Amino acid sequence: MFNRVAFVTGASRGIGRAISLTLCRTGFDIVVASPEIENNELVAEEIRACSGEAMTLNLDVTSQESIKEGFTKVLADKTRIDVLVNNAGITRDGLAVRMKVADWELVLKINLQGAFLCTQQVLPSMMKNRWGRIINIASVVGQAGAAGQANYAASKAGLIGLTKALAQEMASRSITVNAIAPGYIATDMTKGLPDEVKQKILASVPLGRMGTPEDIAAAVKFLASEDAGYITGHVLAVNGGMYM
Ligand code: NAP
CB of 10 closer than 6 angstroms to any ligand 1 atom:
yes
Q: What are phi and psi of 241, to 5 degrees?
A: 90, 5
- Counting ligand 1 atoms within 8 A of each CB, the residue from 7, 187, 202 with the most, and so the one to mutate, is 187
Active site residue 230: no
CB 185 less than 6 A from any atom of ligand 1: yes
Nearest-angstrom CA–CA distance, 128 and 141: 35
pLDDT value for 52? 84
Q: What is the pLDDT of residue 50?
A: 87
Q: CB within 8 A of 233, min separation 6: which ones? A: 163, 164, 167, 168, 177, 178
The region, left, alpha or beta by phi > 0 then psi within -120 to 50, assigned to residue 155 is: alpha
Is residue 163 lining ligand 1, measured as CB closer than 6 Å?
Answer: no
Q: What is the Cβ-side half-sphere exposure of residue 41, based on CA atoms within 13 angstroms?
A: 3
Q: Under CATH, domain 5-236 is a member of which superfamily?
A: NAD(P)-binding Rossmann-like Domain (3.40.50.720)
pLDDT of 49 over the 90 cut = yes
Centre of ligand 1 to C-alpha 12, Å, is 9
pTM: 0.98
Query: Do the Cβ atoms of 42 and 68 come closer than 8 Å?
Result: no
Atom 44 of ligand 1 has which residue's CA nearest to it?
Answer: 139
Average pLDDT in the 55-76 region?
98
> Rounded mean pLDDT of the chain?
97
pLDDT of residue 2: 80
Beta-strand relationship, 5-9 and 175-182: unpaired
The pLDDT score that the predictor gives to residue 107 is 99
Return the pLDDT at 1: 67
**How confident is the model over 48-75, as a mean pLDDT?**
96
DSSP sequence for 106-134: HHHIIIIIHHHHHHHHHHHHHHHHT-EEE
Kindly report each contact of residues 222-231 with a partner whose C-beta sits within 8 Å and lies 24 or more positions away, as own/partner. Answer: 223/133, 223/135, 223/176, 223/178, 223/180, 224/6, 224/23, 224/26, 224/28, 224/83, 224/85, 224/133, 224/135, 225/26, 228/133, 228/176, 228/178, 229/174, 229/176, 231/176, 231/178
The pLDDT value recorded for residue 119 is 98
Q: How far is CA 76 from the centre of its chain?
A: 23
pLDDT over 70 (residue 223) = yes
Domain boundaries, the chain: 5-236
What mean pLDDT comes out for the span 207-220?
98
Q: Read off φ and ψ for residue 45, nearest 5 degrees.
A: -65, -40
Q: For residue range 91-140, list pLDDT tens digits in order.
A: 999 999 999 999 999 999 999 999 999 999 999 999 999 999 999 999 99
Residue 136: its H or E element: strand 132-137
Mean pLDDT (whole number) for 15-39: 97
Contact 12, 32 (CB under 8 A): yes
Q: Is the beta carbon of 62 within 6 A of some atom in ligand 1?
A: yes
Q: What is the pLDDT of residues 157-185, one digit of tens each?
A: 999 999 999 999 999 999 999 999 999 99
Cα–Cα dist 134/179, whole Å = 8
Q: Examine the pLDDT at 29 and tell me if it is beyond 70.
A: yes
Ligand 1 atom at shortest distance from the alpha carbon of 62:
18
